[in-house]
Amino acid sequence: MRKIQRSESNLFEREDQLARLENLGDSLTRLNKAIQWESFRGKLEEVFPVEIGPQGGRPRKDPVMMFKVLVLQRLYNLGDHEMEFQLADRASFLRFSGCRSIRDIPDEKTIWLFREQIKQAGLIDELFDGYKAGLAKAGLIVNEGILVDASIVEAPRQRNNREENQLIKDGQTPEEWKDKPAKNRQKDKDARWTQKHGKNHYGYKDHVKADEKSKLIIDYQVTPASEHDSQSVPELIGEQDRGQSLHADSAYVGPTIEEHLKSHGVKNQVHEKGARNRPLTEEQKARNTEKSRTRARVEHIFGQMTMQLKGISIRTIGLDRASVQIGLMNLVYNMVRSEYLVRNQGIRMSLQYVRQ
């Protein structure tokens, strides 16, 4: 029997592989080309200078490369170990990240540490705001209407008893945990339980304010999941929104919100809500139907996150780390959305971070 001849690998095999991926419509290639990643360098190097230590050790990993690793990780909703594995396994991941060889790939501890340093430096808000400023400069954020909504972000569920949960809810730490520091570190004392559509959920909430026309996220707030959706309005809506209309579902109905919107010159287009003894009239129902055509656009945002970012969930413990992960999720959503807008409109431009 004749053996099938296999082509030998050569120096150009990887280039051929990547070229074929691009011809097949690799979404990572499109995103990589659309964003000017070097525009983030100045801000990143304020926190992560690339330097060799006094003992002549290895230099730190390039901060832009590490930032792109976090973007990849959020795009595919991967844990640190899985991210390291996929970088080593997938040529498209290696190219997107900017790793020149297998030796450049950060291990899972390095990935965790980089994200932890972003948390400690309070950098995620600056990265989000800088990219948002770039989107505004490019004319993608048009400020002709506001959408507000919130989504539950699932976190790892804790196996606590009722007494422990009550102490946590009261802002206290169970005595047993105090004697076991390792166990205490693994307990999330910020995440909360909530119910939605009759189902229990545990974690946090991502409250977003989005541009009505582009569906790009303008601002966000992270809270425990038990926080009511409407509580974010004073934080998200302000003087910068004067003259615009706000669309939101009936969870945002109430005199406090109505007064806040009025005081900032924002037109109230929140869905009207009936009561037990005061059901909605046919006229109110008709107005809600008309409002829904615009309000539904914010639901598309969370739907796209679920599909494109492989789910709205995190693996971290504590509000500070959750804020980094959720902020990164919102930033990566904006990156993917803005790449689509530019490509769909046939605009030739490089999306970038703009220093504030």
- pLDDT for position 22: 60
**Cβ neighbours of 307 (radius 10 Å):** 9
Whether residue 34 contacts residue 135, with contact meaning beta carbons closer than 8 Å, is answered with no
Whether residue 345 contacts residue 32, with contact meaning beta carbons closer than 8 Å, is answered with no
- pLDDT for position 19: 63
Residues 6+ apart with CB under 8 A from 265: 239, 241, 242, 243
- pLDDT for position 41: 97
- pLDDT for position 193: 94
Please give, one letter per residue, the 3-state secondary structure of 7-44.
Answer: CCCCCCHHHHHHHHHHHCCCHHHHHHHHEEHHHHHHHH
| 124-155+191-352 CATH | 3.30.420.10
Q: What residues in the chain have per-residue pLDDT under 70?
A: 1-25, 51-59
Q: Strands 35-36, 199-211: parallel, antiparallel or unpaired by DSSP?
A: unpaired
Residues 164-195: pLDDT tens digits? 888 888 888 887 787 777 788 888 999 999 99
- pLDDT for position 163: 84
Pinpoint the residues of the chain covered by CATH 3.30.420.10: 124-155+191-352
- pLDDT for position 286: 74
Whether residue 355 contacts residue 43, with contact meaning beta carbons closer than 8 Å, is answered with yes
Identify the three-state secondary structure at position 344. helix
Q: Is the dihedral of CA 173, 179, 180, 185 positive or negative?
A: positive
